[in-house]
Structure 1
Amino acid sequence: MKAGETPCAKVFGIGLSRTGTQSLTAALRTLGYDIVHYPADEDTYRTLLRGDARFPLLAHHDGITDITTVPYVAQLDQMWPDAKFVLTTRDEDLWLRSCARHWDRPPHHKTEYGELYLELQLFLRAAVYGCHSFDEDRFRHVHRRHLADVRALFSGRPDSLLILDPSLPAPYARLAAFLGRPAPEAPYPHEGCWPSAA
């Protein structure tokens, strides 16, 4: 949120890795939200270790996207009752292939961000996927369980949850309508090499 603007409801992107969370972040920023994608600061890491979902950055930002939110969806829903949640999805087989390529890189591939990033990355991989390395059966189970859990949590609350597959028509229009914002004329962003199946 920029100085002088009216506060808006928090927005949380609760999709799993490789479902277009970077693209969602870019889209939300275009719609006027100050969103943090996969925060890797010390305060966030301490919050993850405590497990209370009281992320200090939410005092100054409009929301968080990526798997930082995934273990805490129910808690964030309770703490921010007016929040909007966006569950990004994609075809399961395409998603698994993308995850296999992504996890083929060792966890330390981003050590230029410092040792804290590695520790946070390993923590979140274990917390969300129950493993540090890619395992197709495990990931398929986590994917299906996450979708089912989110749908159950928000059952009967269409104003709180948007399930967004950006490969389907008019993703920007659906996202903007869900948030009560005008849809931009620009095409929906494709960040982080998503949604290529190659």
Structure 2
Amino acid sequence: MQKIIFEDEKVHRRKTDSDHANYLRIIGAGLPRTGTSSLKAALEQLGFGPCHHMAELFDKPERSILFSRALDGHEIDFHELMKGYGSTVDAPTQIFYKEIHKAYPKAKIILTVRDTGEKWFESMTNSIGPTATDISYYIAVYPIRFLRLQCIVAKKIFKKWMIEYGEIGPRIHDLYNARVINENKKNELLVFNVKEGWPPLCKFLNVPIPTDIPFPNVNDTKYIQHAFFKARLFGWSAWGCIVAVGAIIICFFIELMRF
């Protein structure tokens, strides 16, 4: 099956002995579309990889099933689920950051933020929002299992936000961030805008600031829109194949009944 790429393949990272570690060292508590893809690339470049991200669900659809169960309230072993990762950012792990931190109590927490709730919501609406709100997108990608499962997870995330905040809008950004800040000690949490670049991140993680590579800037809105456009085409192509095969089978049985 053709792989749909949602990450900037031009971003390179330094592999270290910490890759494929059994201990999660960094937990990203920031909402999607707060620079989580850039943070993922940065953490991997600093040696805190591999970093879990929503994009992992495309390659490993079984993880979508487990997170979907967790969102339904079923008990999940997050220590086992996050084995093999050195860090995690973005949804759906962001929703369970406290449970994951309980499983990995030594992990540091990073809360990525946008300048304003309005900017965050605009970015959400213009990029990944269709996975949870656009029924036409869900119908289009339904034949593609990993895309269908990712949509189901996204829908459940939005449903959880509706229950907790009463609406899907800019206020989620500020209310959620305030809650995370209140839940953690100041010296144990980094509130981070990716515009700040390497210095605050490296200081918090106690690692040298890279001098040979700029801070990553990946997954801009136009890039994601193009990726979802390709996903729709991929889905409708699959539907076309299904209809064609169905038509051939029907014609076969019609011909068979003539004899």
Superposition TM-score, scaled by structure 2 size = 0.62
Return the index of the structure with the highest Cα Rg.
2
Q: Distance in 2 between matches of 1:157 and 1:19?
A: 20
Seq. identity, %: 21
Higher helix fraction (1 or 2): 2
Matches of residues 1-198 of structure 1 in structure 2 within 5 Å? 2-3=16-17, 10-34=25-49, 35-38=51-54, 39-40=56-57, 41-48=60-67, 49=69, 50-52=74-76, 54=78, 56-91=80-115, 92-102=117-127, 103-104=129-130, 106=134, 107-108=137-138, 111=141, 114-128=144-158, 130=160, 138-154=168-184, 156-158=185-187, 160-168=188-196, 171-185=197-211, 186-193=213-220
Taking structure 1 as reference, are residues 110 and 25 closer, same or farther at Cα in structure 2, changes over 3 Å only? farther
Q: Which runs of 5+ in 2 are unaligned?
A: 1-14, 222-259
Q: 1:2-24, CA deviations, whole angstroms, 9 ceiling, x for partnerless residues?
A: 45888765212221121111000
Q: Which runs of 5+ in 1 are unaligned?
A: none
* Residue pair 2:120, 2:173 contacting (<8 A) in 1 also: no
The Cα of 1:187 is off from its aligned counterpart by 1.8
RMSD between aligned residues: 3.2
The Cα of 1:77 is off from its aligned counterpart by 1.8
Q: 1:18-40, CA deviations, whole angstroms, 9 ceiling, x for partnerless residues?
A: 11110000000110111122121
Q: Distance in 2 between matches of 1:82 and 1:29?
A: 19
The Cα of 1:79 is off from its aligned counterpart by 1.3
Q: Distance in 1 between matches of 2:78 and 2:23?
A: 18
- Which deviates the most, 10-19 or 35-44? 35-44
The Cα of 1:45 is off from its aligned counterpart by 2.4
Asked which structure has the greater RCO (Cα within 8 Å, sep 6+), the reply is 1
* Residue pair 2:23, 2:84 contacting (<8 A) in 1 also: no
User: SS of the residue aligned with 1:139?
Assistant: coil
- Which deviates the most, 103-112 or 66-75? 103-112
Q: Distance in 2 between matches of 1:81 and 1:113?
A: 40
Number of aligned residues: 188
